Amino acid sequence: MKEFDLISRYFSQQTAKRKDVVLGIGDDCALLAPAENQHIAVTTDTLVAGVHFPENTSPRAIGHKAVAVNLSDLAAVGAEPTWISLALTLPNVDQEWISEFSIGVFELCEYYNVQLVGGDTTQGPLSITITAQGIVPKSKFIRRSTAKAGDWLYVTGELGDAALALQNVQGKVGLAESVKGQVFEQLDYPKPRVLAGQALRDYATSAIDISDGLLADLAHICKASEVGAKVILENVPISAAMLETLGREKAIELAVSGGDDYELLFSVSEDNKVGMETALSNLGIPHTCIGQLNRQETITTVLDGEKVILNGQGFEHFAESVE
């Protein structure tokens, strides 16, 4: 199958057709017409086989995740996702694989009314690059650099299940059959917090999506905003599957360091806490306060009132209490 036949068969038949797409797939460029008083948010992510997903991941899951990680970035700035372009590199044309992959791509696009407007297909080692674009009101976008000391730290959802699934793939931990489905669902089919991001435009002082791990991504906010943070580790939301498999301390350790969660980490001022919690609760979005920002420009982790650090072997306790 030739390149243009492949595009026509698998990527040109999308149901979602946005009015702001003047010209979509089929020409040298797409033409887009965003509404007035909107910024266009743009993000690009590449997924490489064996690096960003296990080699035996299903094509539908790969397509889903490729879109999800980009929509998660848009959510972190409060944007409504609108358009994507797809650059797909394939070792060969496997029509069954491509069909399943396109299903994974379009299931999230259809759900969020996102239109595929262009891209490229080439031959080579399997990799997927998506550029996603969204719109956000000019006065309402969320940045990493506007958090303040005293703001409260929150996360959506639960952390660590995807990292637990990956550890199972790598042979580092065994999983009971009763929890396998749940944790692999989080690894293969992450759900971007698009609605949460839009709701947070009215309340959050900063936000980031959790892709590299809670503490690593929190460090990006702290650096950009020139603040520090205290994280109460026992408040970090983790699943029963994590606790059952790893025990409390190892579960917390993986939850704050593992990555691949694609939940939102955000800060909110004291004045906006109630409004934010009401808004997210009304949307049915779980959210948990895990700490507070301060002026120290370092991140302190506290477990049961005692300062601890991660040393690769678990927690190292400082034998000093933290008020």
Query: In whole angstroms, what is the distance from residue 130 CA to residue 66 CA?
Result: 7
pLDDT number for residue 41: 97
CB 98, CB 126: distance < 8 Å: no
Residue 52: predicted pLDDT: 85
pLDDT digits (tens, 9 = 90+) for 256-284: 999 999 999 999 999 999 999 999 999 99
Helix (H, G, I), strand (E, B) or coil at 42: strand
What is the CATH code for 152-321? 3.90.650.10
pLDDT value at residue 15: 75
The reply to whether CATH 3.30.1330.10 applies to domain 3-137 is yes
What pLDDT does 3 receive? 66
The tens digit of pLDDT for each residue in 52-80 reads 888 889 999 999 999 999 999 999 999 99
How far apart (Å, rounded) are the C-alpha atoms in residues 138 and 233? 36
pLDDT of residue 1: 62
| Domain ranges across the chain | 3-137, 152-321
Instruction: Give the separation between CA 179 and CA 160, rounded to whole angstroms.
Output: 13
Contact call for residues 225 and 146 (beta carbons, < 8 A): yes
Asked if 10 contacts 98 with a C-beta cutoff of 8 angstroms, the reply is yes
Which tokens in the block code for residue 73?
Answer: 């970035």
Low-confidence ranges of the chain (pLDDT < 50): 313-314, 317, 319-322
Tokens of 291: 């700490």
| Contact by Cβ (8 Å): 163, 259 | yes
